[in-house]
Amino acid sequence: MAHHVLLYTLDGTTDVAEAYLASRGLADRFVLVGLAHRPMASPTAAELAGFEAVLGEFMPVRAEEADVMSSAGIRLVASMSIGLNHVDVAALAERGILTANCPGYCADEVAEHAVALMLDLMRQVTTSNRDVLAGTWDPHFGYEMRRATSQTCGLVFFGGIARHVAPIVQALGMHVVVWAPTKTGSELAAAGCEKVDTLDELLARADVVSLHCPLIPMTKGLIGAPELARMKSTAFLVNTSRGAVVDEEALADALETGTIRAAGLDVLADEAHPNKRLVDNPRCIVTPHVAYESREAAEALVTMSMKSVCELLVDGRTPEWVA
């Protein structure tokens, strides 16, 4: 009998998944059903009925959703994401349901976006354009700008995305320091980076601090008022990781008082209700959690998720990217 899989995505399309199955000669082994939904919604019991696996895009799974999925007979939740802070992996596991994710699917895109935010802040691209649109023409607009070759970039953690950021900023001539407790000095040196032993040291030395850590208990609120105070008054903060890694009120205070120079954020703690103090601050560039976007990344999300589905339902083994 064919395996039934629900693609619970924003657009509800199944084209990429169908093409993946065809490429593996498995088209006749599956029935795929696409169901479009609004962001941060979860499927109901009726919508899950008859499916063995669900691919979820912007689909939170808490304990109550895990109960619904267990009752429906779901065996695998393939989260179309890298981070799993919106999925209760333990609750699913307790009910015999595996969780898979898509590590590294958008590493290139997020790295490029992080560097784009850095350059935007360093060259005042967005803010000076706003000034021109307001009717002013001032080539000496804003704060003093410095060459990239004179700057130090500090990377917080060194996973797949940070590994892509490092060579880009190094190509600009920036020195890279890294605080990554699980990485050795020799490992970072092989990537042309300098290891620092503490976050405090990184904050004190970096001209640009770029966050690349997952949202876990040790990183929630990692950058708060004390950390911002340790940064240079001329420094920039870039966050393309998770919004809750930063204390947003502390960051708003730091921008308003000049504790740091400016910030570039692609993520916020509550993206349904963006922090107005940050959005409205002229020295804060906010993009709408778009760093992961590209056609290639969107296709990778589906194909990586379907690979996990096939590994479990066809090959009968634990998926490579199981959490």
- CA 85 – CA 56 distance, rounded (Å): 14
- CA 284 – CA 276 distance, rounded (Å): 11
Q: Are 22 and 14 in contact (CB under 8 A)?
A: no
Q: Which residue, 214, 267, 211, 275, is CA-closest to 249?
A: 275
Structure tokens belonging to residue 91? 């609750």
Structure tokens belonging to residue 204? 């004190």
Question: Using N-to-C axis directions, what is the helix angle for 295-313 and 15-23, rounded to 10°?
Answer: 50
Residue the block writes with tokens 């939740």: 77
Say whether 242 is catalytic: yes
Please calculate the CA angle 267-205-180 and round it to the nearest 5 degrees: 60
Check the CA dihedral 12-18-21-27 and report its sign: positive
Coil, strand or helix: which one is 161? helix
- CA 251 – CA 269 distance, rounded (Å): 12
Say whether 248 is catalytic: no
Say whether 163 is catalytic: no
Residues whose CB is less than 8 angstroms from the CB of residue 87 and which lie 6 or more positions away in sequence, other chains included: 60, 61, 77, 79, 99, 323
Q: Which residue, 287, 242, 283, 316, is CA-closest to 124?
A: 283
Catalytic residue among 242, 248, 261, 283: 242
Catalytic residue among 47, 163, 289, 293: 289
Catalytic residue among 64, 256, 271, 296: 271
CA 276, chain centre distance (Å): 21
Q: Please give the torsion angle defined by the CA atoms of residues 283, 289, 292 and 295, in that order, rounded to the nearest 10 degrees.
A: -110
Catalytic positions, please?
Answer: 242, 271, 289
